[in-house]
Amino acid sequence: MCGVVGIVGTSPVNLSLYNSLQVLQHRGQDAAGIVTVDEDDNFHQRKANGMVTEVFQQRHMLRLRGNIGIAHNRYPTAGSSSAAEAQPFYVNSPYGIALAHNGNLINSKELKEKCKKAHRHVNTQSDSEILLNILAWKISQISHDVPTTDDIFEAISGVYDEIKGGYAVVCLVLGVGLIAFRDPFGIRPMVLGEKKDENGKSEYMVASESVALDVSGFKLVRDVKPGEALLITKDGQLYSRICAKDPHLQSCIFEYVYFARPDSIIDGASVYATRVRMGTKLAEQIQKEHQNLKIDVVIPIPDTSIDIAVQIARTLGVPYRQGFVKNRYIGRTFIMPGQKQRKKSVRNKLNPIPAEFAGKNVLLVDDSIVRGTTSLQIVQMAREAGANKVFFASASPEIRYPNIYGIDMPTSKELIAYGRNNEEICKEIGADALIYQKLEDLEASVTEENPALTKFDTSIFTGEYIVPPAKDYFENIEKQRSDDAKADKAWKDSSDSEQLDIFNI
């Protein structure tokens, strides 16, 4: 999972790109990058490993000149943290193209072979670089010296024909402007925003979440449609076209559960409102199916589950308490690359307040349970703080299958729910009771906020993939995503340069 931003303005965009990356930091904490284009059609770039505030200093911002630019926060889905894979990526032919990508291509192996046949070299293991070269290959088939709007959309249609997976893409083409497009199912999110400058001229932004628009003064216009491509020319003209065959919206429901910020709106649904509904439905399930639980207090595992837990407590009529104090300076443990790092970071990240646990029957609420090791530690922490009984509620159903569209979930054998029933999972995490959200209730939580959303990517719960992968795909991702594989990659990556300090390409 990554965060992407693209802006076509009438004044320098470097600060707006920076601010947008900051509010999208939750989508990726591994690396960050910005590319801008100046009035002479020169690229300026800065990208490096680290958080946004670590990557960009004043001297870097001053060099990022131009009124057009793209930006990226990186979250590695295959475990690699090499500085060479920081985005955006760049190729000088044809025209000069820079690209940033959120998501995952599931036919990368096949595409890499096509790149070779097209005499294009891919230098990293990143599928984003492969996507860039496929796009460059299609654009290279344009016969005009200056591409027309039809030329660009025809090239994007050719890209859709080649690539498979979930993706939201922003790219710059010198002499043309900003291009953005979203996969045919809208699995990965992307929004369009607009604002007027002091002369009344439109400036445009595309981003992974609407919150990125808010911080820079852009107003949400709409979501980019599934299979839609946008072309915003360097002089600020907006064009759009559906370029994919048979698109329909089936977005990733886990965005609402975990990844997106609560103040974002995705596909017309408030993330905050959907999480409140998740809490209501979980509470109703507890009232109906778990009347025997004598719950004294509801405590969230911060931060994503807070809104859910508040609503559970309100519906059940029991006290809500903040029982854990969170260290705000540690990243999200879900995206830590390796089990040892995740396990260590949980104790560093959360500290219990004993008075909120002592002698009480506690209902802990989390957004999901993935490997279960974090949940086990948190249950143990609650008991050590004096809890009488510890019940555990998950806002999402049992996660039994890997995500293949841009979320770095482990292989099935590393998922605690795979091959286990509720009682077995409950025992594994050491809880006295375990309540999972029902899939139909999770879907209803979003649909009730926007009735137009009727289908979702729920493959991590059902194993039904809307874009089916090749037969050997899961075997390959197991080699990439297992903790052993990540440990090996981390060792190799440690020898890489920590930063790519390239200002002028």
Q: Point out the residues that are catalytic.
A: 2
Neighbours of 129 (CB within 10 A): 25
The Cβ-side half-sphere exposure at 34, using a 13 Å CA radius, reads 31
Whether the CB-CB separation of 34 and 18 falls below 8 Å is answered with yes
Q: Which helix (H) or strand (E) holds 393?
A: strand 389-394
Rg of the chain in Å (alpha carbons):
23
Strands 297-300 and 361-366 come out as parallel
Distance of alpha carbon 154 from alpha carbon 147, whole angstroms: 11
Answer for the pair 305, 282: CB distance below 8 angstroms, yes or no.
Answer: no
HSE-CB at 200 with a 13 A cutoff on CA atoms is 0
Query: Exposure pattern of 435-467 as b/e (b: 16+ CB <10 Å)?
Result: bbbebebbbebbbebbeebeebbbbbbeeebbb
Token pair 């654009």 in the structure block, residue: 139
- Diameter of the chain measured on Cα atoms: 76
In the chain, count H helices and then E strands: 17, 24
